[in-house]
């Protein structure tokens, strides 16, 4: 059975309000939760960016749901630190935590002052980080000299069962590459044909484990309101790679998105006041075989979305009898 999660958007909502939202989501019938680890929002209009790892400890303690985080080790974070963070949450909340690892975006990573590498270098760096993190979680002492450097690192606190390391991908080629090392795959909503191609590429290359999907939605009681929410909050997120990877600040995203047409936003966000239409979209994703679908309402106020989807959408997507 597909689990339906609540995506906790640190870029849009302050950590105290976000903690209340995820607790409310659990009460409303959501099965799981996840968040992304950002240093910067995608737009000054979003206006937040709390530290995901601090928040995760509180959120896991405050709920009983499984949680995941999308993280980019290698520049802003040393992989040994990420291994320690994963290991500690794995000890405290066994079986409830997973981490998705990706190559990252300049908007978060440029803060170190180091050059932003080419995509192929970032992929090679991530592969090294994955190997370091796995070895540390397995109890090994790790020294490594490459795109990342590690000197005699050892995790003294680690879980009996290491949390899953999920591969983050938006392209078919990256999904195929993730099959080499990942315990599962996560991607974002896209046309069904593209999602099917990604899944097939991952599985055909030997990819194992669960399939995760993050779905951007905008819902409000009136269609015009749903459209306005999506346009205000998410028009800076319509750009395909490499633009979304390489822009450095929220101000850059605001400049390039100033003239984005509303119909372009509807290509990346499922926008509708009709809850039945949201059911239909999600049924298509379920049909592709996703094991967990995290719903991200792109508005900054979450309660109305949580209540409406908990009462009118999620029950229609679950098997009966």
For residue 268, what is the domain's CATH number?
3.20.20.30
By CB neighbour count within 10 A (0-12 exposed, 13-18 middle, 19+ buried), where does 152 fall? exposed
Number of independent structural domains in the chain = 1
Tokens of 128: 């090294």
Mean pLDDT along residues 218-240? 96
CB-based contacts of 246: which residues, under 8 Å, 6+ apart? 105, 106, 116
Structural domain of 162: 3-317
Q: Where are the beta strands (DSSP E) in 50-96?
A: 67-71
Find the radius of gyration of the CA atoms of the chain: 19
Per-residue pLDDT band at 320 (split at 50, 70, 90): confident
pLDDT (tens digit per residue) in 192-213: 999 999 999 999 999 999 999 9
Model confidence over 113-163: pLDDT tens digits? 999 999 999 999 999 999 999 999 999 999 999 999 999 999 999 999 999
By annotation, the residues acting in catalysis are 38, 105
Contact criterion met (CB below 8 Å) for 63 and 33: yes
β-strand partners of 211:
185
Q: How confident is the model at residue 321 (pLDDT cuts 50, 70, 90)?
A: low
For the CA atoms of 168, 133, 10, 23, what is the dihedral angle to 10 degrees? 100
Mean pLDDT of 11-32: 98
Q: What's the average model confidence in pLDDT over 270-294?
A: 97
Q: Is the pTM of this model over 0.85?
A: yes
């Amino acid at each position: 059975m597909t689990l339906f999660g609540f995506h906790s958007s640190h870029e849009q909502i302050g950590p105290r309000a976000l903690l209340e939202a995820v607790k409310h989501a659990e009460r409303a019938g959501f099965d799981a939760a996840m968040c992304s680890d950002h240093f910067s929002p995608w737009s000054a209009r979003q206006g937040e960016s709390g530290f995901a790892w601090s928040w995760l400890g509180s959120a896991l303690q405050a709920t009983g749901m499984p949680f995941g985080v999308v993280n980019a080790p290698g520049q802003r974070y040393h992989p040994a630190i990420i291994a320690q963070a994963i290991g500690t949450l794995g000890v405290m909340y066994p079986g409830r935590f997973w981490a998705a690892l990706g190559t990252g975006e300049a908007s978060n990573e440029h803060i170190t002052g180091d050059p932003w590498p080419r995509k192929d270098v970032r992929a090679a760096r991530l592969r090294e980080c994955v190997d370091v993190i796995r070895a540390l979680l397995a109890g090994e002492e790790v020294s490594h000299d490459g795109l990342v450097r590690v000197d005699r690192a050892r995790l003294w606190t680690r879980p009996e069962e290491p949390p899953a390391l999920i591969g983050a991908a938006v392209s078919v080629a990256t999904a195929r590459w993730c099959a080499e090392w990942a315990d599962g795959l996560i991607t974002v909503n896209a046309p069904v044909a593209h999602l099917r191609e990604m899944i097939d590429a991952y599985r055909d290359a030997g990819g194992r484990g669960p399939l995760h999907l993050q779905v951007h939605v905008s819902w409000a009681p009136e269609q015009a309101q749903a459209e306005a929410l999506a346009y205000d909050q998410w028009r800076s997120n319509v750009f395909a790679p490499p633009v979304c990877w390489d822009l450095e600040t929220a101000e850059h995203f605001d400049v390039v998105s100033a003239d984005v047409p509303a119909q372009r936003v509807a290509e990346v966000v499922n926008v509708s006041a009709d809850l039945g239409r949201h059911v239909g979209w999600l049924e298509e994703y379920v049909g592709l075989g996703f094991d967990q679908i995290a719903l991200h309402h792109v508005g900054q106020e979450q309660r109305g979305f949580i209540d409406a989807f908990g009462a009118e959408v999620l029950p229609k997507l679950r098997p009966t009898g």
